[in-house]
Amino acid sequence: MRMLGLFVALVMLSACAESGTETDDAGGGDDGRIDTGDVPVESDGDGDVPGEVEAEAEAEAGADADADAPEDVPEDVPEDVGPEDTGPDGYETDDDGDTVTEAEGDCDDTDARVHPGSTEFVEGLDCDCDGRREFRATIIVTVDDEYDLCVDGVMVATDVAEHSTAETYELILESGDHVIGLHGYDTVGVTAAMAMYVEVNGRQLKSDGVRTDEPDSTLWRYYPSEVEDPQATWCDVPFDDSAWGPALFNAEQDDGEWLQSPNELRGRDVEWVWDGRPRDLRESWFRRRFSLPTAAPVHAAPGTDVCTPIGAPRTLMADAAHRLHNGVALAWTGSQYGVVWSEWYAPWREGCDELFLQRVGADGVPVGTPTRLTTSTWFNTFPDVAFGAGTFGIANEDSVDDRSGDEIYFVRAGTDGAELGSDVRVTGTSTFAGYPAIAFDGTQFGIAWEDDADRGAGAFEIAFARYSTAGTAVGTRTRVTNTSGASRTPALAWSGSQWGLAWEEVSDGSSEIYFARLAAAGTLVGAPVRVTTDPDASAAPSIAWSGSAWGIAWEDERDGNREIYFVVVAADGTVGAPVRITADQGVSTNPSLVHDGTAWTVAWRDDRDGNDEIYAARFADDGTRLADDSRLTDTAGHSWNPDLVFDGTGYAVAWEEETDPTGTRVYYFQTDFLRFSCP
């Protein structure tokens, strides 16, 4: 582990190691933390901290009063009464022996390590009572060829790196907003990339670039100019990086495309990222913003019922030669399930992604073998599926133009799994169209997607169109959004009379959730409604209809950690109060929401147990728990991107399951399926 001199000054634990040994007995001076404010410390040399003078005066007054008091002690008071048992509810007493009382600002008078001016460090604890908890951050990074690493505007390290090795750094961060910045240099002029893994508060902040044709899902931002430097304050927390683009995918760890991966990063699910043009780059800048919570999360009251798996998970696709990493979609026909996925059908960069459909009986047993639906030259990705009138309707993203401009296609299959007719091209005028959502209204399919046909390359809006079960267009395309920000990743549902759409949109420099209603013919009913207003990112919405109202679930960072939130939207578009569904130290993402006629159920991905697993919970409109957070999977590999349906009596979920958690074949997934019940 490399610790440069400047970095040592940053991370020196004058706040003490977890053993409890104090290293700054005076309690004053710089404690070496990356901080956003001051803590009360002694200032007059007599051991007092703010508020102590008043406390001493009160103590002296109390002592004088005791001197004049009768010496008799009531019989019902024990003779061994000590100072810790006196005072109004112990407020003016030092119960834990750290010489500081609650009246003097001790925020936990049961723990001697906790008091104003404390120099202790205990993971996740607010030792110095400044209202902010302390966390240890571990950063593992490699850059080819050189880099500067900074945190909250402070330079941590400057290093010459090699692609086959990585350096590890540790520092202490407190509650609040933070930024990790990396400035990379390509000094050789051949190829260049960076990979980074950050772990803090149980969260994995990996480098996770996006391919040029995928939604902007990465939280790492990349400075778009190759000519001029960003502003000098680019690594500071307040810096506005809304004009920066996403850090883009370069290659996967251990896939043979990027030489030898560092041992320190193996098995950590980290991608190499850069700006998408990996040769002769000279310099690049990256930022990753995140928040750490002030208060410890409080989970829902224990003791509620939980959802229960029915049998063991079923593997629907498991092929060591092929890979799955573009989502799984699930539909219920009334008698069987249909599971659709996108599978890399040949070695990466030597073949293409194709769509497959597997039917599963009501008993959870696969029916037949997977059906290959597409035979395209390029990539078919991000499928969504709905069922109606004896037809599986599948919307997907197709790289029909050699990945230079993805388009939306509509594919149909019968209840026997066989494809019906030819693939139908839905879009054709955009630079990029992707991330489709599909629903059925009883007679026809509605498809929503994101594209940049209206405002030009990279300026995404939400669009909507209808298609018959025969594959013909019904009416014309509807442009749902018209904003200056990017509108992306739509979710779609049908109420019986209207379409409901939810999506994420960049507003006020932050990603927020929006909602709109469309008439049966696809025309807008009123203006879009903003669902979230918090400054942190809200993303990945899922929408469902209860019979009287809409429900929207999404992932949200407002609590300093990605959690699942939910809101009820009335039939007229009135948005209710948001309800926080998860409250754990792990990262909760990718919600999928359904209504069973009585209550809501949501499934999501969660790493609270140290590994990505699929969870589910059931709750009423007001968030009252009917089934508490329920872990449905228990595997060594990561379980991602669940899709949930209600089949009339119970629930089923399909997801991506990692096949090799050791990390030697990263991003090799299989399609798994499970039925479960909820009380």
Work out the pLDDT band at 600, boundaries 50, 70, 90.
very high
| DSSP-based three-state secondary structure for 61 | helix
What does the pLDDT average to over 559-587? Answer: 89
Residue 25 has pLDDT above 70, yes or no: no
Q: Radius of gyration (Cα) for the chain, nearest Å?
A: 28
Using the 3D structure, point to which of 292, 327, 359 is the last residue of a domain: 292
On whether residue 395 sits in a domain, the answer given is yes
404 and 478 housed in the same domain:
yes
Residue 523 lies in a domain: yes
Residue 65: predicted pLDDT = 42
Residue 391 lies in a domain: yes
pLDDT in tens, 56-111: 444 444 444 444 444 443 444 444 444 444 444 557 888 889 999 988 889 888 89
Q: What percent of the chain has pLDDT over 90?
A: 44
Q: Which domain, by its residues, includes 435?
A: 308-677
SS3 of 85, please?
helix
Please indicate, yes or no, if residue 302 is contained in any of the structural domains: no
What pTM does this model have?
0.64
Q: Are residues 653 and 579 both part of a single domain?
A: yes
Asked whether the predicted pLDDT for residue 20 surpasses 70, the reply is: no
Number of domains in the chain: 3
Same domain, 104 and 223: no
Query: Measured between alpha carbons, how far is 590 from 259 in angstroms, rounded to an integer?
Result: 32
Q: Are 403 and 213 spatial neighbours (Cβ–Cβ below 8 Å)?
A: yes
pLDDT confidence of residue 251:
60
Closest by Cα among 227, 271, 220 to 244: 220
Q: What confidence score (pLDDT) does residue 508 get? A: 66
Q: For residue 664, what pLDDT is reported?
A: 52
pLDDT of residue 165: 81
122 and 17 both lie in a single domain: yes
Per-chain mean pLDDT for the chain = 79
Residues in the chain: 679
Across residues 518-533, what is the average pLDDT? 94
For 503, phi then psi, to 5°, come to: -155, 170
- Residue 65 located in a structural domain: no
387 and 473 assigned to the same domain = yes
What average pLDDT does the segment 284-292 reach?
83
Kindly state whether residues 327 and 192 are assigned to the same domain.
no
Neighbours of 468 (CB within 10 A): 15
Show which of 232, 264, 292 is a domain's final residue.
Answer: 292
Strands 625-631 and 283-292: unpaired
Q: Tokens at residue 169, please?
A: 């750094």
Examine the pLDDT at 140 and tell me if it is beyond 50: yes
Residues 197 and 287 in one domain: yes
Q: Tell me: the pLDDT tens digits for 193-240? A: 788 888 887 667 777 666 544 544 566 888 877 667 888 999 998 898
Question: Which residue, 484, 365, 501, is CA-closest to 436?
Answer: 501
Mean pLDDT of 37-47: 35
- Give the chain's end-to-end CA distance (angstroms, integer): 50
Quick one: 115 and 236 in the same domain? no
Distance CA 371, CA 423 (A): 15
Q: How far is CA 9 from CA 3, 119, 128, 348, in A?
A: 10, 15, 19, 45
What pLDDT is attached to residue 384?
Answer: 98
- Examine the domain organization and report whether 209 and 270 are in the same domain: yes
- The 3-state secondary structure of 382-425 reads EEEEEEECCEEEEEEEECCCCCCCCEEEEEEEECCCCECCCCEE
Q: Residue 381 maps to which CATH number?
A: 2.120.10.30
Helix (H), strand (E) at residue 135: strand 134-144
**369-402 burial, b if ≥16 CB within 10 A, otherwise e?**
ebbebbebebbbbbbbbbbbeebbbbbbbbbbee
Whether residue 49 is predicted with pLDDT greater than 60 in this model: the reply is no
Spatial distance between the Cα atoms of 231 and 235, rounded to a whole number of angstroms:
9
Residue 58 maps to a domain: no
Does residue 75 lie in a domain region?
no
What CATH number is given to the structural domain containing 221?
A: 2.60.120
- Are 506 and 399 in a shared domain? yes
Write the pLDDT tens digit of every residue in 445-468: 999 999 988 888 778 999 999 999
Helices (H), 69-130: none
Residue range 629-648: mean pLDDT, rounded: 92
Query: Quick one: DSSP state of residue 262?
Result: P
Does residue 366 register a pLDDT over 70?
Answer: yes
The verdict on 256 and 338 lying in the same domain is no
Q: How confident is the model at residue 161 (pLDDT cuts 50, 70, 90)?
A: low
pLDDT for 251-262, tens place per residue? 655 545 455 667
pLDDT score at 298: 43
- The reply to whether 303 falls in a domain is no
Nearest one of 138, 157, 200, 196 to 175, comparing CA atoms: 200
- Largest pairwise CA distance in the chain: 102
Query: What are the DSSP E strand ranges found in 557-666?
Result: 563-570, 579-580, 588-595, 600-606, 613-619, 625-631, 639-646, 651-658
Residues 655 and 636 in one domain: yes
What's the confidence (pLDDT) of residue 203? 66
- Asked if 453 and 373 touch (Cβ cutoff 8 Å), the reply is no
616-627 pLDDT tens trace: 999 998 888 899
Where does a domain end: 101, 132, 163? 132
Angstrom distance (rounded) from CA 300 to CA 334: 34
